Each structure stands twice: as structure tokens, then as C-alpha cells.
């Protein structure tokens, strides 16, 4: 009589059970990736905008002298400088999933689907918080 080697039914069931337990344990981590990506997107846009504001002020110092000034608004329509469009482009198109919304000239909102954060631009201090 020939002996055929292979897996028993119990070995297969135990293996499938272990794979299922590992999948269930890893599932919450993968479900949270979307929220983490939204938060990273928000932080990247805010950081880029804050850096742009500092570059704007440095450029204004070079061109006009003095201590420099920040743009009065973040809208391209409100500013005559060619660099002004970068602010509205950054906020309007920096996140392609429509997370950013302009409330008015100095306020923008960010929504990740569950929470909404309001950011206010202060043209005197150059802050976007």
C-alpha cells in the first residue's frame, strides 16, 4: 500500500482560521488609512500656505523695502501681484477631493467628512490658523 502525503482537513482548517484571525486583526488599521491620508493632506496644504506667506513677505521686503507685508487676502482677485494666484490655486486645487472651501476672503474650511476645521488668515500677522 502506498502512503500519500498531504494536509489533513484539520490542518487546513487551523491554517484558514489563523489567516482569518490575522486578517480581522489587521482590518482596522487599513480602514484608518483614509483618515490618516486626509489629515496628512490637510497638514501639507496648511504648511505650504504658511511657507508661501513667508516667501511673499520676503519678496515684498526685497521689492518695496521696509519690513515687508503679507497679502491682504488669499484670493487672486483681491491682489494685483502675479504671485497672488498661487494662494487661491493652493487652497482651491491643493486637495482634489473638495476638502477645502472658501468661506470668505480670510476664512477657509477643511472637512475630512466627519470633522470640519475653520482656518482664518490674518493679513497683519501673516498667520493661517
Largest CA-CA distance found in the chain, in angstroms, rounded: 99
Burial status of residue 111 (CB atoms within 10 A of its CB: 0-12, 13-18, 19 or more): middle
Tell me the pLDDT tens digit for each residue of 101-125. 888 878 888 888 788 999 999 989 9
In residues, how long is the chain? Answer: 129
Please tell me the distance from the alpha carbon of residue 73 to that of residue 77, in angstroms, as a whole number: 9
Tell me the pLDDT tens digit for each residue of 37-50. 888 888 888 898 89
How would you label 58-83 residue by residue, b for 16+ Cβ within 10 Å and e otherwise?
eebeeeeeeebebbebbbbeebeeee
Task: Report the SS3 class of residue 68.
Answer: coil
Task: Report the SS3 class of residue 105.
Answer: coil
- Residue pair 107/120 in contact (Cβ under 8 Å)? The answer is yes
- Tell me the mean pLDDT in the region 54-58: 88
Instruction: Tell me the whole-structure pTM to 2 decimals.
Output: 0.67
DSSP 81: S
* Spans of all domains in the chain: 9-128
> Mean pLDDT in the chain?
81
Amino acid at each position: 500500500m502506498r502512503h500519500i502525503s498531504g494536509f489533513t482537513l484539520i490542518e487546513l482548517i487551523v491554517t484558514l482560521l489563523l489567516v482569518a484571525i490575522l486578517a480581522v486583526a489587521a482590518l482596522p488599521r487599513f480602514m484608518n488609512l483614509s483618515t490618516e491620508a486626509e489629515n496628512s493632506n490637510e497638514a501639507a496644504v496648511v504648511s505650504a500656505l504658511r511657507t508661501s506667506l513667508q516667501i511673499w513677505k520676503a519678496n515684498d521686503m526685497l521689492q518695496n523695502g521696509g519690513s515687508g507685508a503679507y497679502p491682504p487676502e488669499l484670493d487672486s482677485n483681491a491682489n494685483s501681484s502675479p504671485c497672488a494666484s498661487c494662494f487661491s490655486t493652493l487652497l482651491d486645487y491643493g486637495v482634489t477631493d473638495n476638502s477645502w472651501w472658501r468661506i470668505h476672503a480670510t476664512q477657509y474650511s477643511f472637512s475630512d467628512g466627519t470633522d470640519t476645521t475653520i482656518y482664518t488668515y490674518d493679513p497683519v500677522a501673516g498667520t493661517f490658523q
